[in-house]
Amino acid sequence: MGAVSVERLDLSADRAHLNLSTADLVERVLARGEGKLASNGAVTVFTGDRTGRSPKDKFLEDTPAIHAKIDWGKVNQPITPEQFDIALRIATEHLNKQDEVFVFQGFAGADLEHRLGVRVVTQLAWHALFAETLFIKPGSASDAGDGSWNHDWTVINAGCHKLTKEEQAELGHNTPTYIAQSLEKKTVVILGTEYAGEMKKSIFYAMNFDMPEQGVFPMHCSCNVAKNDETSVALFFGLSGTGKTTLSADPDRALVGDDEHGWGPKGVFNFEGGCYAKVVGLTREKEPQIWDAIRFGSVLENTKIDPITRVPDYEDISVTENTRVTYPVDFIPGAKIPSVAGHPKHVVFLTADAFGVMPPISKLTPEQAMYYFINGYTSKLAGTEEGVKEPQPNFSQCFGSPFMPRRASEYAQMLAERIKQYGAQVWLLNTGWSGGPYGVGKRFSLPYTRAMVAAMLSGKLDKVPTREHPVFGLHMPTAVPEVPDSVLDPRNTWADKAAYDQQAAKLAKLFRENDAKFEMPDAVRQAGPKG
């Protein structure tokens, strides 16, 4: 059978529900038995056996037009155009057999000059609700345009269909899950996984390829701005679970977005219209803005509710630790709508160090900023990817390797140019372990981290003396308001100082082994760990 185009999808009006209202989508979710209504008004759903992304099952169509621009390897795994067309055919045939499908048409990108039109076609009503929540819906509060829509990218979500053995053989694959993306056809095909994050991250991947050609630096970061000073813009880079959403949800600052942004000629803009926050252990006391944002129109993933009271149990991780909620960004009180801001004054790299040896806060030189951005050291946290059960030390270039089709040096150069042009100060925050590695130490205190961020953004650390870490060369402030001095040097928090030195040396060696993979100026390489 020959290639199947996107146009072969049956989107006739009698079966394809286009941009239903939130209330209608929730009604469909409940009527179809796809989810339940929690006491706070959110829809609760379960994603089946896949409760996180499936990076080993994600593939990119390799064509002459894009081949030289891609950093091929474990992240960007190539498939032939023929394989992509097979996946497209399987997904299209599956959706065409359904009595009804749901279609969302909206945007990625709050800046009207740098936005992509996105169409999502899915079998599940809750996937359409997820898309409506995460992307920018024409005519919504997040849409600064005239409500018109242009079509760039299509996501064909046939995640309910698991590949048969015959289909696996046809594709040359060995699992029921297959995510295929074509940068040339601007199409994403999802098979065998109902985890909605695959839709979100596929469009982020698209933006990470398309935006540099428009002079926009795409970033895996959250962003906020001071409510009393629009020039006080801050970015928080980091992988899932490191604190991007938590630290950017600040009652004294307006949220621009919690995960994906572009830094263009006019400043920063959100790629999305919503937030996708982890809810494990969530309490109103710790994260009041996120707690209050979970209401009608939001989607709770893999979170159990009491069968009688329907109250969500955020402590229950029996399904996965990667329990999540999605909600429109304007559910956060005082959020910046439309989600655009000026050029950042502060750029923060978040690392969840499972070794427990990185300082909780460090001031970076421009060379250190490039070094730590290229290496992107952090930990994969439990549940964020299929098979990850506990924190694993991990280097994720540009703090977003799974979503970066281009080479790390290209993104790092864009960051360096903007830091220099706009005079942004770069910081490294360890939101991981203190007093010992994972299993011995504890996650660093969130109130202390919040205090460090507040001091940083207010300028209270501008003139505070620093001391250089003997291994990593990082410049550690000697005092931070409302934070004990004893925790600012991580070695002080370890009972066994010799064990700390051994772990620090071990991590420094891992950095050097990782940085050997990249081309970088000598001054940048020398800004890394010593020894």
Closest C-alpha among 307, 297, 295, 304 to residue 323: 304
Is 52:384 a contact under the CB 8 Å cutoff?
A: yes
pLDDT band at 384 (very low <50, low <70, confident <90, very high): low
CB neighbour list of residue 262: distance below 8 Å, 6 or more residues apart? 109, 111, 114, 207, 211, 216, 217, 218, 219, 268, 269, 271
Residue with tokens 């760990």: 529
pLDDT at 82 > cutoff 70: yes
pLDDT band at 2 (very low <50, low <70, confident <90, very high): very low
CB neighbour list of residue 390: distance below 8 Å, 6 or more residues apart? 382, 438
For 229-275+338-525, CATH number out of 3.90.228.20, 3.40.50.620, 3.50.50.60, 3.30.1330.30 equals: 3.90.228.20
pLDDT at residue 141 in the model: 86
Determine what percent of the chain is predicted with pLDDT higher than 90: 89
Q: What is the model's pTM?
A: 0.93
Rounded to a whole number, what is the distance in angstroms from the first to the last CA of the chain?
59
Return d(Cα 199, Cα 266) in angstroms, integer. 28
Query: So where are the chain's domains?
Result: 12-215, 229-275+338-525
- Residue 53 designated active-site: yes
Closest C-alpha among 527, 261, 501, 513 to residue 372: 527
- Residue 24 designated active-site: no
Q: How many residues are listed for the chain in this entry?
A: 531
CA quadruple 325, 326, 329, 330: dihedral sign = negative
Q: φ, ψ for residue 328 (rounded to 5)? A: -60, 145
Instruction: Summarize the confidence of residues 213-230 as an average pLDDT.
Output: 96
Return d(Cα 312, Cα 304) in angstroms, integer. 6
Return d(Cα 331, Cα 292) in angstroms, integer. 8
Q: 191: how many CB neighbours lie within 10 A of its CB?
A: 26
Is 224:250 a contact under the CB 8 Å cutoff?
A: yes
Higher pLDDT, 130 or 149: 130
Instruction: Summarize the confidence of residues 501-524 as an average pLDDT.
Output: 94
Of residues 53, 114, 161, 304, which has the active-site annotation? Answer: 53
Return d(Cα 177, Cα 192) in angstroms, integer. 4
Return d(Cα 194, Cα 125) in angstroms, integer. 12
Instruction: Summarize the confidence of residues 109-116 as an average pLDDT.
Output: 95
pLDDT at residue 15 in the model: 95
Of residues 201, 253, 380, 475, which has the active-site annotation? Answer: 201
At 332-361, the pLDDT tens digits run 988 999 999 999 999 999 999 989 999 999
| Angle at 211 (CA atoms; ends 290, 122), nearest 5 degrees | 60
Higher pLDDT, 182 or 252: 182
- Residue 261 designated active-site: no
pLDDT at residue 386 in the model: 59
One-letter amino acid for residue 226 of the chain? A
pLDDT at residue 1 in the model: 35
Say if strands 377-380 and 442-443 run parallel, antiparallel, or are unpaired: unpaired
Instruction: Output the DSSP codes for 64-128.
Output: TTTGGGS-BTTTB-EE-HHHHHHHHHHHHHHHHTSS-EEEEEEEE-SSTTS-EEEEEEES-HHHH
At 279-296, the pLDDT tens digits run 999 999 989 999 999 999
Instruction: Summarize the confidence of residues 73-101 as an average pLDDT.
Output: 97
pLDDT band at 387 (very low <50, low <70, confident <90, very high): low
Mean pLDDT for all residues in the chain: 94
Determine what percent of the chain is predicted with pLDDT higher than 70: 96
pLDDT at residue 445 in the model: 95
CA atoms within 13 A on the CB side of 378: 27
Of residues 115, 173, 186, 220, which has the active-site annotation? Answer: 220
Partners of residue 377 on adjacent β-strands: 395
pLDDT at residue 393 in the model: 77
Of residues 114, 173, 244, 336, which has the active-site annotation? Answer: 244
pLDDT at residue 240 in the model: 78
pLDDT at residue 378 in the model: 87
At 95-105, the pLDDT tens digits run 999 999 999 99
Is 106:116 a contact under the CB 8 Å cutoff?
A: no
CA atoms within 13 A on the CB side of 294: 27
- Residue 201 designated active-site: yes
Of residues 89, 324, 345, 418, which has the active-site annotation? Answer: 324
pLDDT band at 5 (very low <50, low <70, confident <90, very high): low
pLDDT band at 3 (very low <50, low <70, confident <90, very high): very low
Return d(Cα 396, Cα 373) in angstroms, integer. 9
Is 203:259 a contact under the CB 8 Å cutoff?
A: no
Is 371:231 a contact under the CB 8 Å cutoff?
A: no
Return d(Cα 69, Cα 152) in angstroms, integer. 20
Rg from Cα positions in the chain: 23
For 12-215, CATH number out of 3.40.449.10, 3.20.20.70, 2.120.10.30, 3.40.50.2020 equals: 3.40.449.10
Of residues 111, 250, 259, 330, which has the active-site annotation? Answer: 259
- Residue 245 designated active-site: yes
